[in-house]
Amino acid sequence: MINFGPTGCLSEEETNLSKNVIYLREKAMSFCEEERGVLKQSYGKPYKIPVISHEPWQKKPIPIPKSILPQFIELVREIIHTGLYEQSPSIYNSPVFCVVKTNRKLIIVHDLQDLNKVTIKDAGLPPNVDEFVGSFSGRACYGLGDIMGGYDER
């Protein structure tokens, strides 16, 4: 059962519309890593990060402690299975390391300091919310969120 907020937050019509949309798009939702996938390229092309002229880098890997290596390997396999990681012929190599969370699970951290140094910063400001939202008044709006993956986005 999905909680649509406090009683009266949505009208009955809005609640029914939301339920119908969720029913029609239920395969787009995941509640565990095994159900998770990636956005089809037909919906949105991969984002190309603009960079300044630079030499490609090959960084030495950060050693993964032997005590967590099997868990790390399994985590990488799971991420490959979901489609978030894929083989790449890239001439770049940025190291990764692991952090053990309080629940004893691993999280992979990508060291992208070198990429950050050559990335052209986006100085665009977000739109004025009042102006932006006003044009949607009286219309049904949908959004895309990834509360499961955080920054594991394409």
Q: Mean pLDDT over residues 63-84, rounded?
A: 92
Whether 68 has a pLDDT exceeding 60, the answer reads: yes
Tens-place pLDDT, residues 139-152: 776 666 666 655 44
Question: Higher confidence at residue 130 or residue 111?
Answer: 111
Give a yes or no: residue 61 inside a domain. Answer: yes
CATH number at residue 88: 3.10.10.10
Strand pairing report for 96-100 and 106-110: antiparallel
pLDDT top residue among 27 and 97: 97
Q: What is the pLDDT of residue 70?
A: 96
CB contact at 8 A, 108 and 96: yes
Q: How far apart are the first and last CA of the chain?
A: 29
Q: Is residue 8 part of a domain?
A: no
Domain enclosing residue 123, as ranges? 47-134
Instruction: Provide the pLDDT confidence category of residue 61 given band limits of 50, 70 and 90.
Output: very high
Distance (Å, rounded) from C-alpha 150 to C-alpha 120? 23
| 25 assigned to some structural domain | no
pLDDT at 39: 72
With a cut of 50, say whether residue 153 has pLDDT above it. Answer: no
Longest Cα–Cα distance of the chain, Å, equals 59
Task: Classify residue 36: in a domain, yes or no.
Answer: no
| Count of structural domains, the chain | 1
Assess whether pLDDT exceeds 90 at residue 110: yes
CA angle, corner 72, sides to 70 and 73, nearest 5?
65
